Chain A
Amino acid sequence: MQPLFDRILLLKRVPFFALLRTDQLRHIVPMLEPAGWASGERVFEKGDPSDRMYILLSGRVGIVLHDDPESTEYVAQLGHGDCFGEMGLLDDLPRSATVHVLETVEALSLSRVRLHGMLQAYPELGIGMLAALSGRLREANDARIKSRHLADNPK
């Protein structure tokens, strides 16, 4: 199938873009820039400036919240179709996590400037973003509750 259609379907599966129609997504596809890293590299480190978000085409990455970039305490592992790095695009703060490449990654990236332009053009995107962020928040809450439960009941 045409790469354009593959990309559109990929975007359709990303919660950020799920509410857009395929004819709207086709305008977004050309704005995505290809990116790639080999296994063992880091996509970015905690504290780096946030300027773009990424959608994984292949490979796997691990997310580390620890201040030490060498740490391998992954709070989440992401794979095909997942996206990361979107928080910084919205709050304009430095990266809150380090992303390690676990398996060689092919990805698509979207810059902050383009995302802001798209938000104006397709307001539905904002709702998709809220849905995705709310999903992340839920996951974080669950993880926090679980870790607190483990701390209270070490056995």
Chain B
Amino acid sequence: MLKRQLASWLLIRNGEERVVLYLSLLYLALGAGMAVGRSSSDALLFKRLGVEFLPQMFFLTSFLLVGFSAVYAEFSDRLHPSRMFKYIVALTGIFLVVVWGAMQNGGSKIAFAAYFLGYGVVSEILLVHSNLYASGFLDLSQSKRISPLINAASRLGGVVGGVTLGLLSSRFPTEYMALVWALTLVEAFFLIAAYHRGEQRIRAKTKPLKKHGRPLVHIREGLEFARRSSLLQIAGLGLFVMIVLISMQDYLVSTILTRHFQNERDLAAFFGWFSAFTNFAVLLLQILTTNRLLRRFGLKLVSLIFPWSTAASFALLGLSASFLPAVIGRFNYTGMMPAFRNPSANLFYSALPGYMQGRARALSIGLILPLGLAVSGLLLMWVPKESVGESLAVFGLLLSFVYIYLKIVKNRIYAASLACLIQQQVYTGIGEELEEIGRLDERVVGELKQLLQQTEDGDNYVAYAEILLHGAPQDAGKILLETLPGKSAQVQDRLLPRIAELAPPGWQDYMRCCLDSVDTHLRATALTELAKRGDVDALRAIHGWLVHTNPRIRAVAAQACFAAQDPVLHEVAERTLRTMLSAEKPGAIIAALSVMPGLKLFSLDDAVRALLQHPDAGVRAAAIAATGAIGAVGERLILLARALRDEDVVVQRAAEKNAVTLMPITESEYAAALDTYFSFFHMQSLLTNYLAQSELAQRKTILLAIAHRHLQRAWDKKSVALHALSLAQQASARQADEAGFLRLVLNEEVLRHIDIALDILALLDEAQMARAISAALASRDRRLRAQALESLRHIENKALVEWLLPLIEAAQDGARWEHTVPDMPRDMNEMIAWCKRQGGQWLRQCAALMEEETSRATPV
């Protein structure tokens, strides 16, 4: 019970306990070591060598980082992260023991510098690698919950390390702290070895080592990618500015603190206790604040906390370069940075394609970080000693504003990159691109003609023809007339009306040839096109066709009559169609109905209405396709709804296809229809789709209102679905089964409400992103879904997003759900009644069937 409550409080879900415990213990050990290492190396350098050498140390660190990160990058791709981790930890431990020996009995000044530089390099490599290692265990949504938790364990380690240093520094020489750090690394080594012990047997072969230049290749590839990725450009620039800022602050703060404390032991003890305090404060922040802020507001807000705290701390130092502002400044880069900046920076990498994430990290650690340190070192060496005070702080404050600006720009680009990344992974459609073709030049037209002649594939032919028709309409008719004969009847049929529109020389002869085709569709199309233009041969042929034994030919002849400008022919055609509509054979009826859309034969409306109830599904499907002009909007929508509910899917599809002709016209008609058919999902999607495509002024308002309503209903259904679980426990066996079934249907309907809301978002201004989110949510890929959730936070329409996010998190991720409804059912009877009242069409039907069952089961 306690374990479950603790897990729930810490946002740990089922199955995550073991990995969270392992990573927490590992980070605890590493955190303790780093706290000891940082505080002791700082104290030793500042007092034994002098704080004025700090800029030189930055400069040297930059070169060492280039070298060590090159080695790191070389091996990080070849070795499993756990193995790499063990090597890093073991080598650092050996280095510390050697350096401790060199620092003994006063030691050489080089040893203190080496200890400081060693910390600078190891801390960066451990930070990068531990994050890479942990990210292998977690996806984006897990990262957002769990990474603050394991970082908090590292903070707790920092507390332990700080207290240890505070206590030991008064009893032992400060250089002994290198051994304490080494001990924590031994612990980390055994933890990693123990956790991965079982995996040794199935370990894959290591990749062969390439001869040379591999790390440089990574950095070069990272740079090349940065040229194309605006996110990486802005992130790189932001990182550079941040390093300069932090180095400046470190130098300024360290100078003030070194002046304040008289001896090395006092300084080391202060750093130790300060480290413990900082880590404890950050621990509370990470557990209670960071992950909740990330979940509530996303990266957008959290990534701005550190830039603002940096600006504030520089402002304080600018007012007074004294002890207290220095302490606050040190808290900024030792506390605020790991609490807020590092977790959010790691999440930003997820917006890069997987194959580039490693390269981007290599670019950061191998180029930007050293460059930043080198520039900072040079800059600070150039600053006169007497200016290391308020004036440096003011410069830092100004640079902080640049950093904030870069972060804001990065946030904007991040959202777009994430949507782009999802689109690369799931197909979301590319839309109509023909409009972008523009006018084609002669050479391209010639090439297209050649392609049209050569291709044997009908679809390819039509695709080339479409390009030609858009890009060179003046040449298209002639080229099509030359290349089309000999292609399949279906392809010719599709392009015949386009040729007739363009009317190139000889088109009528070609059409007359088509009248002799064995393919009825092609003959009909040719006849219609010729009759439209009053072709004498065609009109003569019509009379024979109107009495043809094939109903399809009779029907197309009737259609062609309406294309001709002759009232007598119109009358004959109408008679023919009426006779066909009352035929016994479905084939004749379907043939007549298939030519009726667009003819607007109001006199045949009653006949068509009657056919909507015909026992043959093919007739019903053809009838719904012919109902475009029947009656008022209300009646048309009733007919559409009925057809969409038809038991035969052929009729449903025909209704869907024909929906455009049955849609409302005015805003009030749309609003009324959306209200009337609120619980009919299929109708809702059609209505919202066509409303969005319309030119109606109030369409956005109506769509947003209906999206809200859907999401509210989804919230209610989600609550009732969860409640069904507890009702099932109290009910009889039959009712428990029913509760389970209703829960299943309720959850399906929640997803359908979400889909409609996302569709509406896509139909409004957020088309690309909403479609990407929708596709990612529908995928079964956890990482994609997590990225979709993150993208959703960046959608402009906050009002909808606030409703959508918790729903999707609960539906996809099993997050906690606390919403309730005022009329929450108290037993199964009330549950059934609730579903009948609030459910979609199918849920209502289920509830009604269950009610019937209950009344049958209850003895009178």
Contacts and interface: CB of A to CB of B under 8 A. Distances in A.
Partners in one complex: yes
Interface of A: 1-2, 4-5, 8-9, 12, 21-23, 26-27, 117, 120-122
B741 interface: yes
Nearest to B742: A5
A9 B748 contact: no
A117 B617 CA distance: 13
Contact of B734 (A1, A12, A26): A1
A2 B745 CA distance: 15
A22 B744 contact: yes
Given A1-B853, A2-B850, A5-B741, A121 B649 contact: yes
Interface in B738-765: 738, 741, 744-745, 748
A123 to B, nearest CB: 11
Contact of A22 (B653, B841, B842): B842
Given A27-B649, A121-B649, 7 more contacts: A22-B741, A22-B748, A22-B842, A22-B846, A23-B841, A120-B649, A121-B653
Main secondary structure of the interface of B (DSSP, over half): helix
A26 B849 contact: no
B802 interface: no
B737 interface: yes
B846 A5 contact: yes
23 contacts: A1-B734, A1-B737, A1-B738, A1-B853, A2-B849, A2-B850, A5-B738, A5-B849, A8-B741, A9-B741, A9-B744, A12-B744, A22-B741, A22-B748, A22-B846, A23-B745, A23-B748, A23-B841, A26-B842, A117-B649, A120-B649, A121-B649, A122-B649
A67 to B, nearest CB: 39
A120 B650 CA distance: 9
Contacts, number: 38
A21 B843 CA distance: 12
Interface in B837-860: 841-842, 846, 849-850, 853
Nearest to A120: B649
Nearest to A30: B647
A29 B842 CA distance: 15
A121 B648 CA distance: 9
A38 B766 CA distance: 60
Contacts of B850: 1-2
A4 B849 contact: yes
A4 B653 CA distance: 24
Contacts of A21: 748
Contacts of A5: 737-738, 741, 846, 849
Contacts of B738: 1, 5
Contacts of B737: 1, 5
Nearest to B647: A27
Given A26-B842, A27-B649, A2 B853 contact: yes
B643 to A, nearest CB: 15
Contacts of B842: 22-23, 26
Interface in B608-649: 647, 649
Contacts of B734: 1
A2 B846 CA distance: 9
Interface residues of B, number: 16
Contact of B741 (A1, A23, A117, A121): A1
- Of all A-B residue pairs in the complex, the 9 with the closest CB atoms, nearest first, are A121-B649, A23-B842, A1-B737, A21-B748, A5-B741, A2-B849, A22-B745, A1-B738, A2-B853
A121 B651 CA distance: 11
Nearest to A8: B741
A31 to B, nearest CB: 11
Contacts of A23: 745, 748, 841-842
A8 B748 CA distance: 14
Interface in B807-841: 841
B101 to A, nearest CB: 55
B484 to A, nearest CB: 30
A56 B296 CA distance: 48
A117 B846 CA distance: 25
A117 B650 CA distance: 9
A12 B743 CA distance: 14
B777 to A, nearest CB: 15
Interface in B635-674: 647, 649, 653
A1 B745 CA distance: 15
Contacts of B849: 2, 4-5
A27 B653 CA distance: 14
Contacts of A4: 849
Nearest to B653: A121
Contacts of A12: 744
A86 B842 CA distance: 29
Contacts of A22: 741, 744-745, 748, 842, 846
Contacts of A8: 741
A87 to B, nearest CB: 24
Contacts of B745: 22-23
A5 to B, nearest CB: 5
Contacts of A2: 849-850, 853
A52 to B, nearest CB: 20
A26 B737 CA distance: 17
Contacts of B841: 23
Contacts of B748: 21-23
B741 to A, nearest CB: 5
Interface string B545-585: 00000000000000000000000000000000000000000
A40 to B, nearest CB: 33
A26 B748 CA distance: 14
A71 B631 CA distance: 68
A27 B734 CA distance: 23
Contacts of A1: 734, 737-738, 741, 850, 853
B317 to A, nearest CB: 61
Nearest to A121: B649
A124 to B, nearest CB: 10
A119 B477 CA distance: 39
Contacts of A26: 842
A26 B846 CA distance: 11
Q: Which of A8, A12, A22, A26 has the most CB of B within 10 A?
A: A22
A129 B741 CA distance: 24
Nearest to B652: A121
Q: Which of A4, A8, A21, A23 has the most CB of B within 10 A?
A: A23
B513 to A, nearest CB: 35
Q: Which of B738, B846, B849 has the most CB of A within 10 A?
A: B846
Nearest to A122: B649
B89 to A, nearest CB: 38
A121 B650 CA distance: 8
A30 B583 CA distance: 30
Contacts of A27: 647, 649
A12 B850 CA distance: 19
A122 B653 CA distance: 11
Contacts of A9: 741, 744
A51 to B, nearest CB: 22
B843 to A, nearest CB: 9
Nearest to B849: A2
A27 B744 CA distance: 17
A79 to B, nearest CB: 20
A9 B745 CA distance: 11
Nearest to A131: B780
